[in-house]
Amino acid sequence: MNRRRFVSLFAGSTAAVVVLRASSATDSNAGERATVASHEPVVVVHGLWMNGIENGVLRHRLSSVHGFAAQPFNYQSVQAGLDENVLRLNQFLAAVPGDTLHLVGHSLGGLLLLHAQQRQPDPRPGRIVCLGSPLRGSCAAQALAALPFGEDMLGATIRDAVLNGGLDAWRGQREVGVIAGTLAAGLGRVIGELPEPNDGTVAVEETRLPGITEHLEMKVSHTGLLFDDDVAAQTAQFLRHGRFSHS
């Protein structure tokens, strides 16, 4: 598969999913407000090749249904390296008002959050939720990097944070919850074989990290983690209580 065809496939499929899901996104409990409207700030960090628009549905649900004040952080996932993005993220977080600060990262965004909070932890209380994040490396990224154009396409942050095998453990102070998808539908399957189970892009085993507080598997795809109302509810549950609901 040549570079132009792969980029076209990725852009087209991602745009189609985002437009379809965003245009039809109606919560099953539309109009419901959280019984505890804390309005505690939540910063949501996007993944590779994204810009934060795609997590708008998740941010809307966290804010309007679950009572948080969600806002995006945008960064250059390809052009900038891990160190630069960690610095920019920590500067952004320091400027967010509030006595509590929660963090949510999708895919590469979750890994960026953990690096940032291990290096320079924000002193305020709060929790972290990672959605489909390749915390222990990525078979899909390794397969793409092996292609002639692969490393350039993946960019500097993936090179620094993922291709080296990811983190070996979480040693930060915050409680971390991880949600992994098990619906194998995504572009990672186009590139090569993924360990089972997986979300179509990231294998479940790649999301497990020693030191985290809790890990939850859900029947959603990698992109679907951003649009599923149950994922949003479980994210809110962990941010507020430090545990997922297993009922």
Tell whether the torsion through CA atoms of 33, 34, 40 and 45 is positive or negative. negative
Contact predicate 242/70, CB 8 Å:
no
Q: State whether residue 125 is helix, strand or coil.
A: coil
**Spatial separation of the C-alpha atoms in residues 38 and 63, rounded to whole Å:** 10
Report how far residue 108's alpha carbon sits from residue 205's, in angstroms, rounded to the nearest whole number: 15
Q: What are the backbone dihedrals phi and psi of residue 109, each rounded to the nearest 5 degrees, phi first? A: -60, -35
In tens, the pLDDT along 65-103 reads: 999 999 999 999 999 999 999 999 999 999 999 999 999
Per-residue pLDDT reduced to its tens digit, 2-20 = 443 333 333 333 433 343 3
Please say if the pLDDT value at position 37 is more than 50.
no
d(C-alpha 65, C-alpha 31), whole Å: 7
Alpha-carbon gap, residue 24 to 13, rounded angstroms = 17
pLDDT tier for residue 193 given thresholds of 50, 70 and 90: confident
DSSP label at residue 135 = T
Residue 219 has pLDDT above 60, yes or no: yes
Which CATH code of 3.40.50.2300, 3.40.640.10, 3.40.50.1820, 3.90.1150.10 fits the domain covering 39-241?
3.40.50.1820
Whole-number percent of the chain with pLDDT over 90: 79
First to last CA, the chain: 44
Residue extents of the structural domains in the chain:
39-241
pLDDT at 56 over 60: yes
Tens digit of each residue's pLDDT (9 = 90 or more) over 167-183:
999 999 999 999 999 99
Residue 113 has, within 13 A of its CA and on its CB side, a CA count of 35
Which helix (DSSP H) or strand (DSSP E) does residue 131 occupy? strand 128-131
Q: What is the pLDDT of residue 190?
A: 64
pLDDT averaged over the chain? 87
Using an 8 Å Cβ cutoff, are 45 and 89 in contact? Answer: yes
Position 189 scores a pLDDT of 61
